[in-house]
Amino acid sequence: MENELRTPLTQTTTTGSSLIKACLNATNAFLGIGLLTVPYALASGGWLSLLLFLLIAIMTFYTGILLKNCMDVNPSIKTYLDIAEQSFGQKGRIAVMIIMNSELYLVAIGLLILEGDNLHKLFPKFMVKIGSLLVDGRQSFVVITALVIFPSMLLTDLSILSYVSATGVVSCLLILGSTLFVGAFGDVGFNASGKLLEISGIPTAVSLYIVCFAGHAVIPSIYTSMQHKHQFSKVLLFSFVVTIVTYASTAIVGYLMYGDSVESQITLNLPTREVAAQVAIYTTLLIPVTRYALMVTPVATAIESGLSENHKNKKSVQLFIRIALLVSTTSLAFVFPYFENLMAIVGSIFVVLGSFILPCLCFLKVSGSYQSWSYDLIGIIGIFVFGILAGVFGTYSSISDLLRET
């Protein structure tokens, strides 16, 4: 699976990706919808939580290197699933496949919620009346979005959407620039002081920060596609620097603009009467439409792989699986409007596993480093413990917040 969480800009070729293409691929792997929630994450934890953001960035950079080291052990390893199988056998491969596809499924739900929220922001008075049943605007837009997405679910070749969704880097920079423009030249300004530290909000902040570095699933594909693999560390460093600067800038700008009143998505705060705000919102609206099918297709493929040979290649079965996934994600997005809680759950469970715990375990298993003490082993143990704590407290906090809101 090469689209487990993000979509590389280019497809692997026989000649390999150049340094520049690899940098773009890696940056696109990490820049995504997490951009919209980082101001809310900063508001949840306070200014000092930015130190945790940097710590998370450093740890996930290191685990990215660990995945590369795992691949160097066996040249036949091409994907994250191969790394899991090399480390823990077929059971490890199945476990990682379940984790990644569960994450993709939840991200797909998040895309629908994102679209419904932002369309409702633009058209707050819109609603649908069917007989005596009145459906509010946000829920109506979730269903409408699903209908717009439906044709893309019928495609077997997603290469066109893959290139469109690869504009993720540009989209994120455009959203940041538009938000900054609203603050600098609109009526909002940068006058909110914010809190220095909010202990109770740290678990939520950490979970949302972790979502920002959820691109490890495609790191093996990027490494495999490179023409000069010895430059991978430079590629990963470049992508992390761009990612850190973009996310941190968005968090700081959004928090200075709206303080503790910042919404779970920064675009929901922006005044729709201003052109720059409309640019940010409409750019955000493109993300679900272009990425939904790419998120769900690996899930459908995984389901099909578990079917018998008589059914897995039937077009009718493939179509039924994709429609079922669209209907189920739409239904959950319809009744579950809490984008920030969903993203926090994704971060505290699935990204913690994929970006913290599994790279550490796989590297220790493959390299045998656990047999003697070293600075690397101490660092890996520290990352592992942090991941466990972030996962436990983040999940508890997210579920508690969700129960309070419902």
DSSP string covering 279-341: HHHHHHHHHHHHHHHHHHHHHHHHHHHTS-HHHHT-HHHHHHHHHHHHHHHHHHHHH---HHH
Which structure tokens are listed for 342? 């969903």
Higher pLDDT, 11 or 92: 92
Average pLDDT for residues 365-374, to the nearest whole number?
Answer: 81
CA gap 246, 31 in Å, rounded: 8
Band of pLDDT at residue 7, cut at 50, 70 and 90: very low
Beta bridge partner(s), residue 134: 129
pTM of the model: 0.89
- Give the CB-side neighbour count of residue 310, counting CA atoms within 13 A: 0
Q: How confident is the model at residue 140 (pLDDT cuts 50, 70, 90)?
A: very high
Q: pLDDT band for position 170 (50/70/90)?
A: confident
The predicted structure's pLDDT at residue 157: 61
**What confidence score (pLDDT) does residue 163 get?**
67
In one letter, which amino acid is 319? L
Determine the pLDDT at residue 82. 93
Share of the chain above pLDDT 70, in %: 93
- What per-residue confidence (pLDDT) applies to 160? 64
Q: What is the mean pLDDT of the chain?
A: 88
Q: How confident is the model at residue 14, as a pLDDT?
A: 46
* Torsion angle of C-alpha atoms 267, 281, 36, 63, degrees rounded to 10: -170
Other CB atoms within a 10 A radius of the CB of residue 231 amount to 15
194-207: average pLDDT: 95
Average pLDDT over residues 195-212: 96
DSSP 3-state of 74: coil
pLDDT band for 221, please (50, 70, 90 cuts).
confident
Cβ neighbours, 10 Å, residue 311: 12
CA–CA gap between residue 147 and residue 259 (Å, rounded): 36
Is pLDDT above 90 for 294?
A: no
pLDDT, tens digit (0-9, with 9 covering 90-100), for 241-285 = 999 999 999 999 999 999 999 999 999 999 999 999 999 999 999
Which two tokens mark 194?
A: 């914010």
> How high is the pLDDT of residue 1?
39
pLDDT of residue 33: 87
**pLDDT at residue 131 tops 80:** no
Distance between CA atoms of 381 and 76, rounded to whole angstroms? 28
Per-residue pLDDT at 351 exceeds 60: yes
Q: Does the pLDDT of residue 12 top 60, yes or no?
A: no
> What pLDDT, on the 0 to 100 scale, is given for residue 327?
96
Query: For a pLDDT cut of 90, what percent of the chain falls above it?
Result: 62
What is the predicted pLDDT for the residue at 15? 57
Answer yes or no: is pLDDT of 318 > 90. no
On the question of pLDDT at 11 being above 50, the answer is no
Query: Closest Cα partner for 4 from 69, 82, 59?
Result: 82
Q: Would the pLDDT of 6 be above 50?
A: no
